[in-house]
Structure 1
Amino acid sequence: MVFDPIVLFFLLGLLAGLSKSDLKIPAAIYEALSIYLLLAIGLKGGVELSKYPLGELVTSSAIVLAAGMLIPIIGYPVLRFLGKLSHYDAASIAAHYGSVSVVTYSVAVATLIERDWAHDGYMVVYLALLEMPALILGVVLARLGDARDGQASAGLAALRSIHWGRLAHEVFFGKSILLLIGGLIIGFIAGEKGYEPIAPVFKEAFKGLLALFLLEMGLVAASRIAAFRSYGAFLVGFAIVMPLVSASIGILTARYLEFSQGNATLLATLYASASYIAAPAAMRIAVPQANPALSIGASLGVTFPFNLFVGIPIYMWMARTFIPG
């Protein structure tokens, strides 16, 4: 699974950049790809949400979201103060790890089916919901860092310096979050039947356009590879330890919600995964000062294969050990 074509496109872009190739993706095309991916992800999530009675999922969704928000809140100070990263990079990476990976989740579902572990289809609702809050929080953390850098003292003085109305407008009406939330609402209203006519564009073509997006991300990562070398050892450690911490939060949350072992495994996998689709697109737009080589290198280069080969079996063991059968 780690050699999925879309991952190989990223490696191709990385190779092209490192070899000083003249390959380039025009800026207008990259912008269009970013808009497409964010809108497509939002639409898919909204369609999935429309399949389930929302009243039955409100309480559990609120708890899952609240617990999931702990991940970027924990990751940011670790990256900022232990890793000595800039507040832009710390916020961006924290957002990547607070968001989720659709591919990793899909592998976990396939693994459960292969092992005959029961799980519920509504778990995909949490996949849709967990995509966005961490991205919003990442923007907030980056702006808080801006405020702190502009103040002689941190703490309350920095918080008071923020124009919260302007910040809320930037967070919720910046094009990255607007596209995600707008797509979610449109998909929810349209439902599966309304989604069918546009599915060839937003579903069938998704993986091919994602491959082009990752080709560009490989080029970008290669152009900033020197920065990853500076933090490489720390980021590799973070990219392995953070998923285990996040999965533990998922298991505790699943136990509290009395999930089955299969559902607990999926929630742990969601928390442990790191986005390399929505988060790079959103952070590239909302926090352009962040170095994508760091976030992509950690999430796609380390955490993604770690979860596929090592993480998911660990999360299944955690569910079997700590969740009543």
Structure 2
Amino acid sequence: MTDALLDPAVLFFVLGIGAGLLRSNLEVPQPVVRWLTLYLLMAVGLKGGFTLARSGIDADAAAALGASLVMALLVPLIAFAAFRLVTSVLQAGALAASYGSVSVVTFVAATQHLQQNAVSFSGTMSVALVIMEMPAVLLGIALARRGDAGAQATPWGHLLKDSARDGAPLLLMGSLLIGWVTGERGATVMEPFSGDLFKGMLALFLLQMGLDVARRFGDLRGLSPWLLVLALAIPLAAAATAMGLGTLLGLGAGDLALLATLSASASYIVAPAVLRHALPDASPALYLGLPMALTFPFNLLIGIGLYASVARALA
């Protein structure tokens, strides 16, 4: 875990939080942030595709993808049951959608941590990232609508259509396919883009993320302490469940750590964008504030190192 905290990209995240708390005027311009988001999605997809081209799809890859689909359905159910103890059906459903879905940035940080510690992982986990993104959001919305008649505004067909059009998973999956098709030749050609530049771009993106997190701390004021506890307990429970499932399926240390990281991460980009239209009465302070201000920093500073250490011990 110490290695994770001393990673330059993570330290830039801490710098961003500090600057935000000091109310500094430091900020990465939004057009640059948008460009960095596109860059990270492309680079992660390409790297996953190149790795997948080397390893191929075998029984281990099928097991990893099966486990990711199970976790995509199981985590929102766990989150809904836990949050329902302290909040309404509507809010619990929205939180289940956010906590069941995944964070691309947390995944990227986890892959960097594994590479830094010479732990190998397969390109299959980039496919798992795509698989796990939307099912939880749709399941969380269904759970919320079950108990709240006012949440019926957006038809399912419209939601599915918007999900299919969302640029983030489309770019990620498209880049992965390009990396898979081009293989070693593509890896050599794209190395300066997807390799040499990657760490610096991630550090710059995490600097802005730190600033954003500091601004979200205000959303936590006045919330039940139990909500704050669950924002940390649910990711740990999800990671432990993923570790158990992945160990039973014989996943390697790298894939096991990434499955746990994905299961423990929470979406603060894709899920909130969908929830804003699907559940307009749900509180963004909960489904956006908790993942961004608590869960994301916890995973980045502590969780990733913890999951990787446990995975190495189990595999």
TM bracket (short chain): 0.7 to 0.9
Matching residue within 17, 24, 39 for 2:27? 24
Matching residue within 259, 269, 290 for 2:257? 269
Deviations 1:61-111 (A, max 9, x none): 442233332453234304642353565454223323799634445656777
Secondary structure of the 2:26 match is coil
Matching residue within 129, 138, 141 for 1:140? 138
Change (3 A) 1:283 1:27: farther
Contact 1:221 1:296 in 2 (8 A): yes
Q: Which residue of 2 aligns with 1:163?
A: 155
Question: What is the CA distance between 1:234 and its match in structure 2?
Answer: 3.6
Q: Report matched runs for 1:1-325 at 5 Å.
A: 1-57=4-60, 59-78=62-81, 80-82=83-85, 84=87, 85=91, 87-96=93-102, 101-104=107-110, 107=113, 123-141=121-139, 144=142, 151-152=149-150, 163-229=155-221, 230=223, 234-240=227-233, 242-255=235-248, 257=249, 259=250, 263=252, 265-274=253-262, 279-280=267-268, 282-283=270-271, 290=284, 292-307=288-303, 310-315=306-311, 319=314
Contact 1:43 1:186 in 2 (8 A): yes
What's the TM-score once normalised by structure 2's chain length? 0.76
Question: What is the CA distance between 1:312 and its match in structure 2?
Answer: 4.4
Secondary structure of the 1:124 match is coil
AA matched with 1:91: A
Gaps of 5+ in 1: 114-120, 321-325
Secondary structure of the 1:23 match is coil
AA matched with 1:13: G
Contact 2:216 2:293 in 1 (8 A): no
Change (3 A) 1:302 1:102: same
Contact 2:80 2:140 in 1 (8 A): no
Deviations 1:219-241 (A, max 9, x none): 21111212234366643454245
Change (3 A) 1:149 1:251: closer
Contact 2:13 2:207 in 1 (8 A): yes
Deviations 1:155-199 (A, max 9, x none): xxx5xx763433222112211111111111111111121132222
Change (3 A) 1:233 1:25: farther
Change (3 A) 1:272 1:209: same
Distance, in Å, in 2 between the alignment partners of 1:68 and 1:274 is 9
Contact 2:64 2:124 in 1 (8 A): yes
Calculate the aligned-residue CA RMSD, in Å: 3.7
Gaps of 5+ in 2: 277-282
Query: Matched residues, percent identical?
Result: 25
Question: What is the CA distance between 1:200 and its match in structure 2?
Answer: 0.9
Size of the aligned set, in residue pairs, is 300
